[in-house]
Amino acid sequence: MIPANFYRLTSWKNKRNGAIAEKVGTVNFIDFKTADNLLAGMEFSLTNLLGDKMASVQGGTVVGRSLGNLEPDVIFDSPHGIITPRTENFYITGVSFYNFNWDKAAALGTCSHCFHPAATDSGARTIKLSDLTFDESVTKRIRY
């Protein structure tokens, strides 16, 4: 199996996500930067059930809202830094989170699309995390 590695993505002020991966196999986002996105810095919807650490986010920086370059719509929404898939076998390592400190904003969100009122999936997936850092302004690390 040959992995699809995406390196050094920079994405900001998108009206939904900085990056979204729908139904993926061995896909890795490496050393990315996202900021001021309305729903999430990054969202993985579904991962193929291939095994541990086959789909991952490795290194990077996620900013909920940048203070000097604020997108007004971000204040009214409550974005996530990374929304994890509604399937198993996802891995996040070496990511730093900044400025998730208002309303329901959170560094991590579980179960892509499960927060929608019409969703029929309630989550409960195993997601592996390591070496994450949160600055002091991150008041909510995880929102279910």
Q: What is the pLDDT of residues 35-91, one digit of tens each?
A: 988 888 998 888 876 666 678 999 999 998 887 776 666 666 778 899 888 888 889
Instruction: Give the SS3 label for residue 68.
Output: coil
This prediction has a pTM of 0.87
Give the phi and the psi of residue 82 in degrees, each rounded to 5: -130, 130
Q: Tens digit of pLDDT for each residue in 98-138? A: 998 878 888 898 766 566 555 556 666 788 999 999 999 88
Burial of 12 (C-beta count, 10 Å sphere; 0-12/13-18/19+): middle
Of 35, 111, 43, nearest to 74 by C-alpha is 35
Q: Is the dihedral of CA 98, 133, 47, 84 positive or negative?
A: negative
Higher pLDDT, 54 or 34: 34
Give the phi and the psi of residue 22 in degrees, each rounded to 5: -85, -95
Q: How confident is the model at residue 31 (pLDDT cuts 50, 70, 90)?
A: very high
Rounded CA-CA distance 75/30 in Å is 28
The overall average pLDDT reported for the chain is 84
Instruction: Give the SS3 label for residue 75.
Output: helix
